[in-house]
Chains A and B, each alone.
Chain A
Amino acid sequence: MNGATRFLRRIAPQLAILAGILVLISVFFPGFFEVRIANGRLYGSPIDILNRGAPVALLAIGMTLVIATRGIDLSVGALMAICGATAAWGSTQGYGLPAILALSVSAGLVCGLWNGILVAVLRIQPIVATLILMVAGRGIAQLITEGAILTFNQESLIFIGSGSILTAPTPVVIWMIAGMIVTLVVRRSALGMLIEAIGVNLRASTLAGVNSRVLLIAVYMASGLCASLAGVIAAADIRGADANNAGLWLELDAILAVVIGGTSLLGGRFSIVASLIGALIIQAMNTGILLSGFPPEFNLVIKALIVLTILILQSPATRTAAVFFRRQPRPDPADTRTVTQ
Chain B
Amino acid sequence: MRSDGLSGAKVSGAQAAPTGEPLLEIRDLYTHIVTPRGVVRAVDGISLEVAQGGAVGLVGESGSGKSMTAFSILRLFPTAGARTISGSVRLSGRDLLRLSEEEMRRVRGGEVAMIFQDPATYLNPVLTVGRQVAEAYAMRSGWGEARRSAVRALATVGLPDPEAVYGRFPHELSGGMRQRAVIAMATVCGPSLLIADEPTTALDVTIQAQILELLARLRKELGTALLLITHDLGIVAETCEVVYVMYAGKIVESGPVGSVLVSPAHPYTQGLMAGALTIEEARPVVAVMEGTVPDLANLPSGCRFHPRCPKVMDRCALQPPPEFAVAEGQMAACWLCGESPA
- A, B co-complexed: no
A interface with B by C-beta (< 8 Å): none
B interface with A by C-beta (< 8 Å): none
